[in-house]
Amino acid sequence: MTPAVLNLHNHTPFSDGAYTIDELCEAHLDLAGCKVDGIGISDHLFCTPSSREITNDREFERIFVPETRSYVAEVRAARQRWAGKLQVFCGAEINYPKNRGMLDRIRTMLDGVDYVIFEYVDWAGLTHLANQSRRWPCPIGLAHTAVHSQYPNTSLDQVVRTLANARIFYEVSSKFLPLDGHEAWLRTLPGHRVAVTVGTDTHDDLRVLRDIPTLYDTVRRFGLESKLLTPAARMEPAMSA
């Protein structure tokens, strides 16, 4: 069975994207030479406009519980509008350095979120996420991570085993096209139980969607097609008031 073609990394005006969910859906369906089955909305959550860190649990909850609830409702409404035409998944992108002290609280705020991708995760952060990965209510993964440069003092074997043991997925990102310097890492993945996703990190330029066929060609070329992750749509959110 051929895996679904999904682009799970797109941003909307809810965070720092330029296009609405409906505009993103239309653009994916209009792609020439590529039939896209679904998209993921993965806006930045748990960060303030000023990017200042919030270390107080009460303030963090006051700001971000309503925001997360509103975000999930917006994506789920789009899922209903596009049912039968395009699958719409509810993801979230989290800045690891700015939120590493609040992860216990964040895990309780993800009702209705189908998957989470973390950005800017250093090696200490990856080991931290790996140690707690089974406690997350949905799959977690690494967004646009250049393994060879972000973990220069760690072997590829150690990185891939860490991901495999923790069930952390890896995003094959259009930000790395062409793939100069990434081939050794991609050749490492097939021998381990590491799921992969495809993402264009869409913000303000829809031309990146043209990379989707190339990304899926890359997945096939490196023998990763059987490892593609399709998130499970989670139940309706039931966050307490």
Strand locations in the chain, DSSP E? Answer: 6-10, 38-41, 87-95, 115-119, 140-142, 169-173, 196-199
b/e burial code for range 207-228 (CB count within 10 A of at least 16 → b): ebbebbeebbebbeebebeebb
Predicted confidence at residue 195, as pLDDT, reads 98
- Specify the pLDDT at position 240: 42
Domain ranges in the chain are 6-227
Report pLDDT digits (tens) over 169-187. 999 999 999 888 899 999 9
User: Cβ contacts of residue 50 below 8 Å, gap of 6+?
Assistant: none
Q: Pull the structure tokens for residue 34.
A: 């590529």
Write out residues in the chain with pLDDT < 50, as ranges.
Answer: 238-241
Please identify, in words, the CATH class of the domain defined by 6-227: alpha beta
Strands, E assignment, 124-240: 140-142, 169-173, 196-199
pLDDT value at position 175? 93
With b for 16 or more beta-carbon neighbours within 10 A and e for fewer, the 57-68 pattern comes to: eeebeeebbebb
What is the reported pLDDT for 181? Answer: 84
Are 121 and 150 in contact by the 8 Å Cβ rule? The answer is yes
CA gyration radius, the chain: 17
Q: What is the pLDDT of residue 49?
A: 64
Contacts (Cβ under 8 Å, ≥6 apart) of 170: 141, 142, 145, 163, 189, 194, 195, 196, 197
